[in-house]
Structure 1
Amino acid sequence: VEFPVIQFRPSDLKRGTNGWRRLCKRVREACETFGCFEVVYEKISAKVREETLELMKELTEVPVERKQKNISPLPYYGWVGPCNQVSLLYEGFGLGDASNYDSVKTFAQLMWPDGHPPFCNTVHTMATQIES
Structure 2
Amino acid sequence: MKELIEVLVERKQKNASPLPYHGWVGPCTQVSLLYDGFRLGDASNYDSVKSFAQLMWPDGHPRFCKSMHTMATQIEELNKLIWLMIIDSYGLGEKWESVMINYKMLVQFMKYMAPPPGVYERGLFAHTDKPVSTIICDDQVLGLEVEVKDGQWIKLSLSPSSFCFVVGDPLRAWSNGRLKAVNHRIMMSGDNGRYSIAAFVIPIEGTIIKAPKELIDEQHPQLYKDFDFMEFFLFAFSDPAKHIDSGEQLHAFASLSPPISN
Matched, 1:64 2:15: no
Choose from 117, 120, 123 the match for 2:62: 117
Matched, 1:92 2:32: no
What is the root-mean-square deviation in Å for CA atoms of aligned residues? 0.9
Cα separation, 2, equivalents of 1:102 and 1:91: 24
Choose from 59, 72, 81 the match for 1:127: 72
Instruction: Tell me the alpha carbon deviations over residues 85-104 of structure 1, each in whole angstroms, 9 at most, x when there is no partner.
Output: 33222012110011000000
The count of corresponding residues between Structure 1 and Structure 2 is: 77
Cα separation, 2, equivalents of 1:119 and 1:68: 19
Question: 1:82·1:91 contact (CA, 8 Å) conserved in 2?
Answer: yes
Larger strand fraction of residues: 2
Question: 1:101·1:120 contact (CA, 8 Å) conserved in 2?
Answer: yes
Choose from 43, 52, 67 the match for 1:107: 52
Larger helix fraction of residues: 1
- TM-score w.r.t. the length of structure 2 is 0.29
Partner of 1:81: 26
Question: 1:67·1:79 contact (CA, 8 Å) conserved in 2?
Answer: yes
Cα separation, 2, equivalents of 1:95 and 1:86: 19
Q: What is the percent sequence identity of the aligned residues?
A: 83
Instruction: Tell me the alpha carbon deviations over residues 20-76 of structure 1, each in whole angstroms, 9 at most, x when there is no partner.
Output: xxxxxxxxxxxxxxxxxxxxxxxxxxxxxxxxxxxx111010000000011111111
Cα separation, 2, equivalents of 1:62 and 1:113: 11
Q: Which has the larger radius of gyration?
A: 2
Question: 1:76·1:92 contact (CA, 8 Å) conserved in 2?
Answer: no
1:33-44 residue pairs with structure 2 within 5 A? none
Partner amino acid for 2:8? P
Q: Which has the higher contact order (CA 8 A, sep 6+)?
A: 1
Partner amino acid for 2:71? M
- TM-score w.r.t. the length of structure 1 is 0.56
